[in-house]
C-alpha cells in the first residue's frame, strides 16, 4: 500500500477533481483522515489482522459497505470520511501490485532484507518522489503529521467508520473505543516519524545493522536511492502475462484519480 504522503497528495488531487465536477468535499479534515485508509488501524496490535482483512476485501464488497455507511450517515463529517476512505483504499488496491513488483526487483538485487522491508522502502521512496513531483519539496520539509489534521471530530469520525467496517466483517459491535485509540496512536506515530534532519533514518539503519530494517525503511531520505527506478520511469513491464502494464507510477497515480472520482460519484447518496 502507498505510504502517508502519497495518500495525502492523492487525496488533494482527488478533492480538486471532485470540486471541478460539482461535488465539493464538505469537511476536509474528515476527508484527509479517511484518505489514510486502513493505516489508521495499523498502530494497534489488536487491529492489525482486521486492517489486513479490510485491505483484502474484494473492491466491490468494500465499496458497497462504504456506500451503505454513507447512506446511513448524512453528516458532513461522515460523508467526507467515506469519500476519503474510498480514496485511500482504492489507491491501495491500484498501487499494491506495483509496490509488490518493485519490492521483488529490489529483493533480487539485495537479499539481505525480506520482501516486506523492501515494500516499505519502495513506499518511502514513492513518498519522496511524489512530494518532489507535486510540491517541489523534500520530506524533511513536510511534517508527516500534516496528513492527519489535528481534529478530534475527524479522528472520532474515522474511528466510527472503521468500527462499522469491522463490525460488518466480524460481527463484533464494540470496536469504537479500540478504533479511536488506534487512530490517535497513528497520529502520534506520524509525529515521531517526521525527520527534519534525515538523521533518524541513519540512526535506525545503524541500530538495526544486518537485521531487518523494520523501522528505518519507514523513514524518508532526502532523496531516493539513485540505483533503482522506484517510479518505473524506464517503462519496465510490472503487470502479468495476461495483463501487461508498463505505466510509470506517476501515470498509475493520475489514472487512479479519474477512476476514484467515478467511484465516489456513484456512492453519493441520492
- The pLDDT confidence band at residue 229, using thresholds 50, 70 and 90, is very high
What's residue 53's pLDDT? 81
Q: Tell me which residue has cell 448524512.
A: 74
- The pLDDT confidence band at residue 161, using thresholds 50, 70 and 90, is very high
Judged against a pLDDT cut of 70, whether residue 109 lies above it is answered with yes
Q: Residue 142 sits in which domain range? A: 4-267
- The pLDDT confidence band at residue 262, using thresholds 50, 70 and 90, is very high
pTM: 0.93
What's residue 11's pLDDT? 97
Mean pLDDT calculated for residue range 52-74: 90
The Cα–Cα gap between 112 and 50 comes to: 30
What's residue 266's pLDDT? 87
Per the prediction, the chain carries an average pLDDT of: 91
How many domains are contained in the chain? Answer: 1
Mean pLDDT calculated for residue range 139-148: 94
- The pLDDT confidence band at residue 45, using thresholds 50, 70 and 90, is low
Mean pLDDT calculated for residue range 64-81: 95
Mean pLDDT calculated for residue range 217-235: 90
Amino acid at each position: 500500500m502507498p505510504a502517508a504522503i502519497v495518500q495525502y497528495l492523492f487525496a488533494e488531487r482527488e478533492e480538486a477533481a471532485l470540486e471541478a465536477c460539482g461535488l465539493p468535499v464538505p469537511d476536509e479534515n474528515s476527508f484527509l483522515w479517511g484518505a489514510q485508509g486502513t493505516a489508521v488501524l495499523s498502530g494497534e496490535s489488536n487491529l492489525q489482522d482486521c486492517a489486513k482483512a479490510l485491505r483484502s476485501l474484494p473492491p466491490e464488497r468494500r465499496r458497497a459497505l462504504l456506500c451503505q455507511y454513507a447512506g446511513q450517515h448524512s453528516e458532513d463529517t461522515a460523508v467526507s470520511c467515506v469519500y476519503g476512505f474510498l480514496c485511500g483504499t482504492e489507491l491501495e488496491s491500484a498501487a499494491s501490485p506495483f509496490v509488490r513488483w518493485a519490492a521483488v526487483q529490489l529483493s533480487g538485487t539485495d537479499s539481505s532484507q525480506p520482501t516486506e522491508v523492501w515494500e516499505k522502502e519502495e513506499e518511502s521512496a514513492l513518498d519522496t518522489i511524489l512530494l518532489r513531483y507535486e510540491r517541489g519539496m523534500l520530506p524533511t520539509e513536510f511534517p508527516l503529521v500534516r496528513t492527519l489534521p489535528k481534529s478530534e471530530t475527524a479522528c472520532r469520525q474515522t474511528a466510527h467508520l472503521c468500527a462499522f467496517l469491522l463490525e460488518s466483517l466480524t460481527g463484533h459491535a464494540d470496536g469504537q473505543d479500540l478504533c479511536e485509540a488506534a487512530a490517535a496512536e497513528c497520529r502520534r506515530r506520524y509525529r515521531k516519524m517526521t525527520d527534519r534532519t534525515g538523521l533518524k533514518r541513519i540512526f535506525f539503519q545503524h541500530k538495526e545493522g544486518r537485521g531487518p530494517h523494520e523501522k528505518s525503511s519507514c523513514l524518508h531520505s532526502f532523496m531516493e536511492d539513485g540505483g533503482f527506478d522506484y517510479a518505473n520511469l524506464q517503462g519496465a513491464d510490472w503487470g502479468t502475462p495476461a495483463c501487461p502494464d508498463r505505466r510509470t507510477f506517476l501515470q498509475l497515480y493520475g489514472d487512479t484519480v479519474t477512476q476514484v472520482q467515478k467511484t465516489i460519484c456513484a456512492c453519493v447518496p441520492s
